[in-house]
Structure 1
Amino acid sequence: MSLLVALDGPAAARVTLGTHHRELLALHRDLLGTTLEAVVTCRHCGTDSEFPVPAEAVLDLPAPVPGNVVAVEVGGARETFRLPTVEDLDATRGLAYDDAVRRLAVRTHVGGAAPALDSGDIARLTAAWDEADPAGDVTVDVDCVGCGVPLAVSVDPAEFVARDLDRFLDRLVREVHALATAYGWTEDAILALPTSRRRRYLELVDTRAAARSLTAVSS
């Protein structure tokens, strides 16, 4: 949540989880243009398996209608709940699953006090939320590379998008340093270059460095 809030302001915390996932994946696609790779540790053999997150498939899922609500039968009555936002989900941090859903139900119930939920109510409510906001649950089927056991992996795109953006920013700082050292250009001037031109200048810097090394060796 903090990444998109930093970019888009407080409104980013008031979107649904599916919308949050879609915005993160779109940011990754637009900035990096690379496949988003995730890693899961097999609970059976402990082997790490890397797999691609199906970002385009998630982005193609239907977005929830603004103001969308779900109606669920609870205790023989029809109760209405809005879709939880990222801010709502953040308020459940540290709670056990059933307790987290009950807190979400209190925060999202429309009209009067929220009813008490039993296990069946929780299952129906979460299923209704998943149906209305399908990008909120990013689950990928993976075969463990170690033991071959099939794994259904629930992916939090925020973790892997943040990782890739950290790597991108680190690489960008290194590129700025290399070009500023080689040519004396300012940071603003370097960042204003199209990526393709910046990479071409970096290739020339590398070529010059290699030539100097060969000259030093030959002399």
Structure 2
Amino acid sequence: MHPLDRGVMTLAAVAPEVASADIADWPLGRRNQALLETHIVTFGPQLQGWSVCSECDEKMEFEIDARVLLSEQQSVRTGRISFRDRVFRLPTSRDLAALQTEDDPNDAALALVQRCLSEGESVEQWRVEDTEPLGEAMAQADPMAEVRISFVCPKCENHSEETIDLVNFLWSEIEARAKRALWEVHAIASAYGWSEGEILSLSATRRANYMEMVHA
């Protein structure tokens, strides 16, 4: 699945009362807030990862508290901004999905602007340079749309900034939890002959206790 689809599917699973189509139309900041909240509730607040210095290739590990990100960068909920006497929607997952076939980043930027413009209007005369101030205005209106962190390389002291892919952070945790559950089902079923349903009906604590007995 594409990361955009993974993000929508995950949020639809934790909020079944909201239609997937509606989640796809959330501003990106609202989506990212929901992804962080899901991570905090399900796996805890710590986001751990690593990056590579662009100057010397030094591996840099980092750990961020998702609660701090939420408190520092609250996203707006209006979903629209005014710019140059026109009204624009804030970009959504659906908008980004529609741009996946665009190979040229300049064409993609102009296509995104057109998608976010109010119906009945056009940006045919816009240049790529015209999209930059609009992008800045959108970023100010929806600061959680792109979560960036700063790095200082401990080896060469190079300063850099990178975007955190919140979908991949959450999906990695889900994938690891799923693999662990699969292994637990296999190990306990092999030892006790129970069915998958019986094993998964156990609490996580009881499954852990049975796993300890299996390995004893």
Q: Measure how far apart 1:22 and its partner are.
A: 1.9
Equivalents in 2 of 1:34, 1:59: separation in Å? 10
Deviations 1:165-206 (A, max 9, x none): 211211111111112222222222222222222212222222
Q: Secondary structure at the match of 1:57?
A: helix
Give the conservation status (yes or no) of the 8 Å contact 2:149–2:163: yes
Counterpart for residue 6 of structure 1: 9
Counterpart for residue 190 of structure 1: 199
Equivalents in 1 of 2:21, 2:120: separation in Å? 27
Larger Rg over CA atoms: 1
Whether 2:111 is the aligned partner of 1:103: answer: yes
Give the conservation status (yes or no) of the 8 Å contact 1:22–1:58: no
Q: Which 4+ residue blocks in structure 1 deviate beyond 4 angstroms?
A: none
Counterpart for residue 64 of structure 1: 76
Do the aligned partners of residues 57 and 96 (structure 1) sit closer, same or farther apart at CA in structure 2, a change above 3 Å counting? farther
Counting only pairs closer than 5 Å after superposition, residues 118-137 of structure 1 correspond to structure 2 as: 118-137=127-146
Give the conservation status (yes or no) of the 8 Å contact 1:72–1:124: no
Aligned counterpart for 2:53 among listed residues 19, 42, 45: 42
Q: Secondary structure at the match of 1:18?
A: helix
Whether 2:95 is the aligned partner of 1:88: answer: yes
Give the conservation status (yes or no) of the 8 Å contact 2:188–2:194: yes
Counterpart for residue 140 of structure 1: 149
Q: Secondary structure at the match of 1:44?
A: coil
Do the aligned partners of residues 188 and 33 (structure 1) sit closer, same or farther apart at CA in structure 2, a change above 3 Å counting? farther
In the superposition, the TM-score normalised over structure 1's length comes to: 0.81
Q: Secondary structure at the match of 1:165?
A: helix
Counterpart for residue 213 of structure 1: none
Q: Secondary structure at the match of 1:36?
A: strand
Give the conservation status (yes or no) of the 8 Å contact 1:98–1:122: no
Equivalents in 2 of 1:180, 1:35: separation in Å? 33
Equivalents in 1 of 2:35, 2:161: separation in Å? 22
Q: Measure how far apart 1:119 and its partner are.
A: 4.9
- Mind listing any 5+ residue stretches in structure 1 that lack a counterpart? 208-219
Q: Secondary structure at the match of 2:51?
A: strand
Counting only pairs closer than 5 Å after superposition, residues 199-218 of structure 1 correspond to structure 2 as: 199-207=208-216
Deviations 1:112-165 (A, max 9, x none): 322233355322211111112111110011222442322211111112222222
Equivalents in 1 of 2:8, 2:55: separation in Å? 37
Counting only pairs closer than 5 Å after superposition, residues 5-24 of structure 1 correspond to structure 2 as: 5-7=8-10, 8=12, 9-24=20-35
Percent same amino acid among aligned pairs?
Answer: 29
Do the aligned partners of residues 13 and 3 (structure 1) sit closer, same or farther apart at CA in structure 2, a change above 3 Å counting? same
Aligned residue pairs, count? 202
Aligned counterpart for 1:170 among listed residues 160, 164, 179: 179
Give the conservation status (yes or no) of the 8 Å contact 2:45–2:67: no
Amino acid at match of 2:48: E
Amino acid at match of 2:86: E
Give the RMSD, CA atoms, in angstroms. 2.1
